[in-house]
């Protein structure tokens, strides 16, 4: 497309590393797209911005982030291989974000399948309104469409059908409307290597797209953060309203409130090169320097501009998320340097989520697959000069509780004093960890309450079953006490940590694991083998749907069980089967007891997360075990809270 429109003078090739948009050394070595790139083309007086995204499943999160700013998409499939599992996942993501989609069936010169066979599969796997646009006229003026094409598109809605019956065709405006509404999906055939079918696609794009209208007030959406070779931080955004100018001050909503920053430089990229421009107008993509607090998914600028798009990234949770974590083997590298490098890479890819595991005394990162891990290792070497290895990956477990419980933390070594009472309650799946207060200011000053909540939010709290992070709970401050002379800020930090931990020790904890929603498509004669495998994995599934000698099975399955199943599937179906996965969320672990026994985690031996408290007697502090803290607490809970606590933990009150 770049070559045919004159944007580049020479055709590039992925095979020999000369692709215009795959210019990173890692991309050239591996022959795949790893990072999304930008380029601009002009076709039939239409100015288009191309965003090239990765196709490999390990880097699909990068592609998903880019979908947030697309007006249209061109989904490329291999005509010979057909629709694979990950392609189907991308299709559902485009549907979820409401992106009008064109389809290009590539490598027709190498495929043994006819156009009719490809169209049959697209209709079955994607939509019955995938329409062959091979005969789309080169100069579409309004109603000069072949009757077969007009009739196929008119079937999309009643208004188009009426127009077709009255006029014998449909207008270009109607066809544009059907594409924008995702009622019709134009399909093109060709060979990119031989430049076949590309001009037809470009002609259709230039005629079928609609120019957007934007509000006058500035707004923008961040879809990517990166660093250029000199280390300058770049915030990639699409301007969704007004215009962005150099030295413009913009506002961004963060966890700590609204932050303002000033734009230093605006860059418009074309592959590896860029030009510095004074202004970026609504609808355009740019990379901005000078913004240090921006994050992927942020909506910037005036709230009215942000609200004009109800599918903003801030309201949509990612579908493609990592469910495995690997430990970093330092190989003699300084842990602080490795951590700083990984933090910068996490700034670019938030799903890496680098964290320090106190119990294992190691850095950990979350990953999508082995190829991503290899790229991460090479990136640390090339950009930061750090040669590290990674340990074997493990499932990212979570823990929650079944009922409400009160946790008490007391910290009173000599000349220190703080006591905290927290109510910990379970929340619906996917809620994360929430915080609040129901403590009266007469009992504890507001500044101490704010400090306690800040302390509670500043780190990830781990459960008592396997030491995995706690989720789906609400932590509410319900009481506490400070000393006018001896209380310091750090005292409440200690008391808060101990209160959370002491509450978790009393609660009935539940181990959670990541589950995937799956669609398994196999030849009908292989259904028995598929059922046997799914039962072994602990999957839950519906009755199969059979069509054209293939059976489709839909259900949910633990992520760790189906992680490497694609290799088995390709083996016993001889490459004819497909598996589509979508992260569903965290549910109860299907083999909870086995995982707990294997972890062999002792919560009372985890000293950085101790549930015990410290009291003072005769001028010296001494440790009180967690199950004796309630009887020695200085603040007594109100009757309603005490009753709820007693009903939630009858075993505890039976002993104490």
Span 88-114, mean pLDDT?
92
Q: Is the confidence at residue 431, as pLDDT, over 50?
A: yes
Domain boundaries, the chain: 72-208, 219-315, 324-396, 399-507+601-655, 513-589
Tell me, what's the pLDDT at 170?
92
Alpha carbon of residue 307 to chain centroid: 21
Quick check: do 219-315 and 324-396 share a fold?
A: no
pLDDT tens profile 359-374:
778 899 988 888 888 8
Q: Which class would CATH give 72-208?
A: alpha beta
> Does the domain at residues 219-315 carry the CATH identifier 2.60.40.10?
no
Tokens of residue 54, six digits: 């990765």
Tell me, what's the pLDDT at 649?
54
> Does the domain at residues 513-589 carry the CATH identifier 3.40.50.2300?
no
Q: Is the confidence at residue 294, as pLDDT, over 90?
A: no
Q: Is the confidence at residue 278, as pLDDT, over 70?
A: yes
Tell me, what's the pLDDT at 141?
63
Give the C-alpha separation, 32 to 157, whole Å.
39
Q: Is the confidence at residue 420, as pLDDT, over 50?
A: yes
Average of per-residue pLDDT values in the chain = 88
% residues pLDDT > 90 (the chain) = 55
Q: Which class would CATH give 399-507+601-655?
A: alpha beta
Tell me, what's the pLDDT at 140?
64
Closest CA to 153 of 135, 174, 139, 124: 174
% residues pLDDT > 70 (the chain) = 93
Tell me, what's the pLDDT at 323?
82
Tell me, what's the pLDDT at 183?
96
Tell me, what's the pLDDT at 310?
40
Which one-letter DSSP state was computed for residue 3? T
Give the C-alpha separation, 632 to 624, whole Å.
9
pLDDT tens profile 507-521:
999 999 999 999 999
Q: Is the confidence at residue 244, as pLDDT, over 90?
A: yes
Tell me, what's the pLDDT at 258?
67
Got the DSSP string for 217-280?
S-EEEEEEEEE-TT--EEEEEEEEESEEETT-EEEEEETTEEEEEE--EEEEEETTEEEEESEE
Give the CA distances from residue 559 to residues 318, 319, 528, in Å, rounded to whole numbers and listed in that order.
Answer: 16, 14, 21
E strands present in 368-404: 389-390, 394-395, 398-401
434 band by pLDDT with thresholds 50, 70 and 90: very high
CATH of domain 324-396: 3.30.70.870
Q: Is the confidence at residue 617, as pLDDT, over 60?
A: yes
Q: pLDDT higher for 19 or 386? A: 386
Tell me, what's the pLDDT at 35?
85
């Amino acid at each position: 497309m770049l070559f045919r429109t004159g944007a580049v003078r020479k055709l590039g090739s992925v095979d020999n590393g000369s692709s215009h948009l795959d210019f990173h050394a890692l991309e050239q070595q591996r022959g795949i797209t790893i990072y999304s790139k930008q380029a601009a083309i002009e076709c039939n007086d239409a100015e288009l911005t191309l965003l090239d995204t990765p196709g490999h499943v390990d880097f699909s999160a990068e592609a998903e982030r880019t979908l947030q700013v697309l007006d249209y998409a061109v989904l490329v499939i291999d005509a010979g291989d057909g629709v694979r599992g990950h392609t189907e996942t991308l299709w559902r993501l485009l549907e979820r974000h409401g992106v009008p989609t064109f389809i290009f069936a590539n490598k027709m010169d190498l495929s043994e399948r006819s156009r009719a066979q490809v169209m049959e599969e697209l209709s079955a796997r994607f939509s019955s309104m995938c329409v062959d646009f091979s005969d789309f006229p080169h100069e579409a003026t309004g109603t000069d469409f072949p009757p077969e094409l007009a009739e196929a598109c008119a079937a999309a809605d009643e208004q188009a059908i009426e127009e077709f019956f009255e006029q014998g065709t449909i207008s270009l405006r109607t066809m544009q409307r059907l594409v924008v509404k995702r009622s019709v999906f134009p399909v093109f055939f060709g060979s990119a290597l031989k430049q076949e079918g590309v001009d037809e696609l470009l002609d259709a794009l230039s005629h079928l797209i609609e120019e957007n209208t934007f509000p006058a007030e500035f707004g923008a959406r961040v879809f990517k953060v990166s660093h250029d070779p000199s280390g300058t931080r770049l915030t990639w955004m699409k301007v969704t309203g007004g215009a962005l100018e150099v030295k413009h001050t913009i506002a961004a909503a963060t966890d700590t409130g609204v932050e303002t920053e000033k734009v230093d430089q605006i860059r418009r990229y074309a592959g590896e090169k860029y030009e510095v421009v004074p202004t970026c107008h609504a609808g355009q993509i740019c990379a901005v320097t000078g913004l240090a607090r921006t994050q992927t998914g942020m909506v910037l600028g005036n709230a009215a501009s942000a609200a004009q798009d109800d599918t903003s990234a801030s309201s949509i949770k990612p579908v493609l998320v990592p469910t495995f974590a690997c430990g970093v083997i330092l190989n003699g590298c300084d842990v602080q340097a490795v951590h700083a490098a990984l933090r910068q890479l996490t700034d670019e890819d938030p799903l890496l989520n680098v964290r320090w595991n106190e119990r294992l005394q190691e850095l950990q990162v979350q990953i999508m697959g082995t190829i991503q891990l290899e790229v991460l290792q090479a990136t640390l070497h090339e950009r930061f000069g750090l040669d590290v290895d990674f340990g074997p990956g493990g499932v990212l477990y979570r823990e929650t509780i079944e009922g409400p419980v009160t946790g008490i933390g007391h910290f009173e070594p000599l000349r220190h004093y703080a006591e905290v009472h927290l109510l910990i309650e379970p929340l619906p799946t996917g809620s994360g960890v929430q915080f609040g207060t129901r403590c009266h200011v007469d009992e504890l000053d507001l500044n101490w309450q704010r400090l306690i909540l800040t302390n509670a939010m500043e780190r990830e709290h781990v459960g008592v079953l396997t030491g995995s992070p706690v989720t789906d709970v609400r932590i509410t401050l319900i009481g506490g006490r400070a000393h006018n002379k001896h209380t310091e800020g750090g005292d409440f930090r200690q008391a808060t940590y101990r209160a959370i931990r002491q509450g978790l020790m009393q609660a009935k904890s539940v181990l959670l694991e990541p589950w995937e929603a799956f669609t398994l498509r196999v030849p009908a004669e292989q259904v028995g083998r598929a059922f046997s495998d799914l039962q072994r994995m602990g999957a839950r599934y519906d009755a199969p749907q059979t069509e054209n000698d293939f059976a489709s099975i839909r259900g949910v399955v633990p992520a760790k069980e189906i992680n490497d199943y694609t290799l088995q599937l390709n083996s016993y179906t001889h490459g004819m089967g497909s598996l589509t996965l979508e992260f569903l969320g965290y549910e109860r672990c299907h083999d909870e007891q086995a995982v707990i026994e294997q972890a062999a985690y002792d919560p009372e031996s985890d000293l950085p997360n101790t549930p015990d408290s410290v009291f003072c007697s005769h001028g010296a502090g001494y440790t009180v075990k967690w199950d004796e803290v309630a009887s020695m607490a200085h603040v007594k809970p109100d009757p309603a809270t005490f009753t709820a606590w007693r009903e939630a933990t009858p075993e505890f009150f039976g002993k104490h």
